[in-house]
Amino acid sequence: MTKIKATNVILHAFDWPYNRVTQYAKDIAKAGYKAVLVSPPLKSYKHEDGTEWWQRYQPQDYRVIDNQLGNTDDFRKMTAILDAHDVHVYVDVVFNHMANESKIRHDLNYPSKQVLDEYHQSAARYETLKLFGDITKPLFTERDFIKAFPIKNWADPWEVQHGRISGGNEDPGLPTLKCNQNVIKQQKCYINSLKQLGIKGFRIDAAKHLTLEHIQLVWDKHISADVHIFGEIITDGGATKEEYELFLAPYLKGTSLGAYDFPLFHAMYNVFEKGQPLAELDNPYSVGQALAYDRAITFAITHDIPNNDVFLDQVMTEHNELFAYCYILGRDGGVPLIYSDLDTSNITNSNGSPRWKDCWNEPVLTKMIAFHNLMQGQPMAVLSKGEDHLIFCRADEGVVAINRGAEPLNIVLPAGQFSVLVDTGSNIASCSQTAGSYRLEASSCAMLVKSTLLE
């Protein structure tokens, strides 16, 4: 098969050590990914016995990369190897808060005196790991933090954007940063230092908790130039839903940045898991159930869903998750994000293996990515829709069909010879050719492309 040019699919290598990303760089490129999103590259708590994934989301310092996943040297090596394979690096940035270290100290200097002493004692080493700034002094002090109070009313934007994220009444929570001159300055210096390392994309963690002013001040035109930026604003659905109207709508109106397409995720979940008609996925944007094509980060699962008890009921079955990937990789619009972890959730697949560890490179998924890459920019038109099926074409170059029903489905193809890239319900050989029509078995999905595209 001809080499297919990667377009925009992102591999979310969640909590992967930087050296592991380096190790798999060639395979990542071969699988059709254009970018890899890695966990926050900063200083956070680490231990020789390992630490929980959420420690990566509790910053101690922006100026040094030194955490459980690796250090600045590992990170630089990873970016260089990925660049050699023409794969971009995206990073997660945590700007709402700093680490909860209340069990070991009572001040709000970041990093702590203990960390600053560590910098001093190994000055030569940390100077090579430094991204920017003067690491003999704190990055932030008490005057950079909002006075502590826990978030109790999650439907109050002011409270959500000023209170502390905490685990309950006994948990002092994560110290919330102010939107002041020093905080904005340091966060912009951090972004610029990462851009100098070649970083091409940024995921804004916990964007719901940042004020619109804070986001606008950090992500100005200069900072945002030549990079892809998107925010994580978790909602329970699309337009008219309370969380959408309170948090996502103002962000979309007040910025030009991208966002996780939670409206589309919930639309897919309602169809595939709750049995609503597949016809509802005909054009979800037209009814406020999907974001605009040029701002959406589309997904079938995010790291929050399997790793937080409150979202666990949103994990789809393996079968339905594959349907969701077929839909988001088949449709026109959005930047697909494919999730992979190293078993942080302890959820296994039907074979008893960690469910999302190797899924990123499974043949069916990589062929779906190939379809997405081949069809980039081709207009989409629905050919047939119903309670249990959805068939659409991409110009006359490709066809996507999802059949949730209990009976086979006959697909009338556009004129010409087509090759079968994906068929989850058949043992038919990949790239076998057909013309005129195609039979899709019950409870399966398929992707076909014009045979000439593979020559």
Nearest to 355 by CA among 368, 365, 367, 342: 342
Query: What pLDDT score was predicted for residue 430?
Result: 65
Query: What pLDDT score was predicted for residue 455?
Result: 85
User: Active-site residue among 232, 243, 397, 423?
Assistant: 232
Q: 86 an active-site residue?
A: no
Query: How large is the angle between the packed helices 318-330 and 363-375, nearest 10 degrees?
Result: 20
Whole-structure pTM value: 0.97
Are 215 and 248 in contact by the 8 Å Cβ rule? The answer is: no
Q: 396 an active-site residue?
A: no
The two counts, helices (H) then strands (E), for the chain are 15, 16
Are 401 and 368 in contact by the 8 Å Cβ rule? The answer is: no
Which amino acid is present at 219?
W
Which amino acid is present at 321?
E
Are 6 and 86 in contact by the 8 Å Cβ rule? The answer is: yes
Close Cβ partners of 162 (under 8 Å, ≥ 6 residues apart): 146, 149, 176
CA pair distance 347, 353, nearest whole angstrom: 8
Query: What pLDDT score was predicted for residue 228?
Result: 98
β-bridge pairing 433-440 and 66-67 = unpaired
Torsion sign across C-alpha atoms 72, 75, 81, 85? negative
Query: What pLDDT score was predicted for residue 171?
Result: 80
Give the side-chain half-sphere CA count within 13 A for 200: 14
Count Cβ atoms below 10 Å from residue 387 Cβ, excluding itself.
12
User: Active-site residue among 144, 205, 243, 341?
Assistant: 205
Query: What pLDDT score was predicted for residue 170?
Result: 72
CA pair distance 341, 315, nearest whole angstrom: 14
Residue 444 phi/psi, 5° resolution?
A: -150, 170
Low-confidence ranges of the chain (pLDDT < 50): none
Are 10 and 30 in contact by the 8 Å Cβ rule? The answer is: no
